Structures are given as C-alpha cells and as structure tokens.
Structure 1
Amino acid sequence: MISTFYLIGIGLFVGFAAWLLFIWAVKSGQFDDPEAPKYRMLDDDDEPAKQAKPTEKKKP
C-alpha cells in the first residue's frame, strides 16, 4: 500500500516537472513558428560553388 503512495507522489512530481518545462519552452519561443523549418532548406543562402578552371590538354 505504501508503494502506491510513492508511485502517486513520483507521478505527480514528474507531471509537474514536465508541465514546468513545457511552460518554459512556450515562453522562450520554442513553438513560435513550426512551419519555418520545412521551408528553410529551400532558401538559397549558400555561397555559389567555385567554378573549376578548365585544364588545358597538350596535343602531341
């Protein structure tokens, strides 16, 4: 019977901790724009690739 009280207490503690972490995440802006990451890969913000210089082949 005592183990039931321990499990209830631990469950309440873990639930409360998860709730606090969720509130912290919302206030810190973790869920502001969930749509942006899937479009971020389409942005062309990379530097253009360097063009390779053509190599001259000598004809015998």
Structure 2
Amino acid sequence: MESMFILVPISIILAFVIGWFFWWSGKNGQFDDLEGPAHRILMDDDSTSKLIEKERENDVR
C-alpha cells in the first residue's frame, strides 16, 4: 500500500510528460508528412543519364 503513494504520482507525472511531448511534436510539424520519408527512400538522387555519359566518355577514350 505504501508503494502506491509513490507509484501513482509518478505514473500521473509520466502520463503528463508523454502527453506534453506528443502535443509538442504535433505542434512542431513532426506528423505533417508521414508518407514522405517512406517514398523518399525509393527515389534515386543520382541521375542515370550522367552515368551513361561518363561510360560513353570512357568508351571513346
């Protein structure tokens, strides 16, 4: 029973801290674009046309 006097306030404080972090992250735009990073990893930043041009230059030499 004595441990309840410690555990209940700690759990209430922890719930408020988690709620505050969730509110803060939503306010700062952490959840604005949920699908962008998943699609961004599939996009290739390197241009294949540049690679083909380099290969042609090497073949000519």
Instruction: Give the TM-score taking structure 2 as reference length.
Output: 0.70
Q: Secondary structure at the match of 1:43?
A: coil
Among all aligned residue pairs of Structure 1 and Structure 2, give the percentage whose two residues are the same amino acid: 38
Aligned-residue CA RMSD in angstroms?
Answer: 2.3
Higher fraction of helix? 2
Instruction: Give the TM-score taking structure 1 as reference length.
Output: 0.71
Q: Which letter maps to 2:42?
A: L
How many residue pairs are counted as aligned between the two chains? 56
Q: Secondary structure at the match of 1:51?
A: helix
Match of 1:41 in 2: 41
Give ranges in structure 1 of 5+ residues lacking alignment. Answer: none
Q: Secondary structure at the match of 1:2?
A: coil
Match of 1:15 in 2: 15
- Residue 45 of structure 1, CA deviation: 3.1
